[in-house]
Amino acid sequence: MTVLAYRAARKQAVPDRVPTTAVNSLSTYRLKLQSKESPVVRSSDLKNADRPVKSGPARSPIARLLQLGSLVGRVGASVAVEQLISLVRSGPSRKLHQVANLVRNAERIVHDLGQLKGAAMKVGQMLSLQDALLPPEVTGVLRALQQQAPPIPFGVVKRQLDAELPGWRKTIKRLEPVAIAAASIGQVHRGVLRDGRPVAVKIQYPGIAEIIEADLVNLRRLLKSLFALFTDADFAPVWGEVRDRLREELDYENEAENLRRMAELWAGSDQVVIPGVIDAASSRCVLTMEYVAGYTPDEACGDAQPQALRDRWGAALFDFLLRGLFEHRFIHADPNLANFSFLADGRVVVYDYGCVKSVPRPIVKGYRELCRAALAGRRGEVPSLLAAMGVTTGSGAPVSAELVAPGLDFVQRVLADAHPYRFGGDDQIFRQVFDLTTSRFGEVKDIRFPHHIIFIDRTVVGHFGNLSRLRAAAPWREMLEARLY
């Protein structure tokens, strides 16, 4: 709970901004990348699809190593220079320039990893959710990687579709050439089946499997160094978890099976919609599913929607998380809000099942006991319960009660009986957690944790951020109790 609650507190407190003092001090620095127009693909490209076109991101291991190496070199040199200059600075001036330098480097990462796609971009997206490890100014910039990436030309993905499903035209009557979404591994095109049903066709970038493997070799070295800056925990099992999830995302047949299993688990739900798989138009590199139109995240989180409706969407996301963890032991582990759309009746449509985590029973039991202790106000039991889950200090001792306290304060505030907690408007707990993390960084760095919680952590933190964007309020305590007992 100390790991999850810390990150959740930071995520919900300032989801789209940084503390006022930091904003004022950094007013001369660019905290967000300027949006860039994605290439527009006209319908005429359907006729010109067989002409030579740019094939997308670099594919050879050497080319990608050079690009990643260049990025690391520029970032590393920048950090080294900053460290030298910081020797002659003191107090607020030093901290200001350090944060500004981190922001500039985050912008470099966003630009380069977004162009590389593949595992490099995916890992960048993961970093953007790590609010407990990185300053909020930096995660604010990295969050740009969660947005839509520039699509590759339709001619390229069409040839991939022809190679994977030579007879796709027998099932799909029409396929729009302009991608409705583009990400790190593939992009999505809207289509219509011969029977008139609207579908979303997810097509993997050609050669992306080789790209992923090339990235894994290089990123392991880079992330090991980054990991060591923030924790003394063993990197090997953590990397194994990240690597396995990335490789699973390449297999669209596996994703289709995840979809079918989720649809079975959520059949009859009045809160969550799981699109059906179109087997006749799917393969290992192509996934065709039912298209369910809804509000985009920006539309759903905007002021045009009634708050009562945003509250219903927030409750649906929260229960999706709770049931996945405690009931199904099978969680959708990519909480990027772009993977959801929102219906006018309060239901939420869930897309992208490449990253799904089966949770071991002992881990679920640990979370259940932690939540029961928090609900009952048994704060003194939390360090030992965390230790039973494998969250300890480097010596194997329980983490200190002082380190756990701010996270528990946040959890108890969310679960208070008095009135439903509204996410997104309270940064007091954020300041408390941030100050403690900074002042006791050595103790935080010494925490060890089981690798299984990495993607559970990512999911919880991500959804707390989603609830903050929706500014949602609901009977969180009642909902949690319903899934624990």
Which residues form the domain of 394? Answer: 1-13+295-485
**Predicted confidence (pLDDT) per residue in 123-149, tens digit:** 555 554 444 445 554 455 445 545 556
Average pLDDT, the chain: 75
Question: Structural domain tally of the chain?
Answer: 1
**Predicted confidence (pLDDT) per residue in 430-461, tens digit:** 565 556 555 566 677 788 888 888 889 889 98
369, 385 Cβ separation under 8 angstroms? yes
Residue 376 has pLDDT above 90, yes or no: yes
Distance of CA 401 to the CA centre of its chain: 29
pTM: 0.74
φ/ψ (deg, to 5) at 204: -75, 140
Q: Name the one residue in this structure whose structure tokens are 């990991």.
A: 227
User: What does the alpha-carbon distance between residue 155 and residue 214 come to, in Å, rounded to a whole number?
Assistant: 25
Q: How far is CA 44 from CA 174, 187, 319, in A?
A: 14, 19, 45
184, 83 Cβ separation under 8 angstroms? no
Give the pLDDT score at 30: 23
Classify burial at 40, counting beta carbons within 10 Å of its beta carbon; exposed 0-12, middle 13-18, buried 19 or more. Answer: exposed
Q: Is residue 162 part of a domain?
A: no
Q: Which of 255, 53, 281 is nearest to 175 (CA)?
A: 281
Q: Is residue 144 part of a domain?
A: no
Q: Is residue 184 part of a domain?
A: no
Mean pLDDT for the stretch of residues 18-44: 30
Q: Is residue 311 part of a domain?
A: yes
Q: How far is CA 411 from CA 64, 231, 265, 428, in A?
A: 43, 24, 28, 13
Q: Is residue 86 part of a domain?
A: no
Mean pLDDT for the stretch of residues 237-262: 88
Give the pLDDT score at 225: 65
Q: Is residue 409 part of a domain?
A: yes
What is the DSSP pairing of strand 286-290 with strand 356-358?
A: unpaired
Q: What does the block give as tokens for 427?
A: 């940064």
Q: Is residue 384 part of a domain?
A: yes
Q: What does the block give as tokens for 390?
A: 């494998």
Largest Cα–Cα separation, the chain: 71
Residue of 311, 334, 427, 446 marked catalytic: 334
Q: Which stretch of DSSP H or E encloses residue 190?
A: strand 186-193
User: What does the alpha-carbon distance between residue 1 and residue 437 come to, in Å, rounded to a whole number?
Assistant: 15
Q: Is residue 236 part of a domain?
A: no
Amino acid 334 reads D
270 classed as catalytic: no
- Of 9-18, 61-70, 372-381, the poorest mean pLDDT is in 9-18
**DSSP states along 318-353:** HHHHHIIIIIISEEE----GGGEEE-TTS-EEE---
Give the pLDDT score at 439: 59
Q: Name the one residue in this structure whose structure tokens are 């901004």.
A: 17
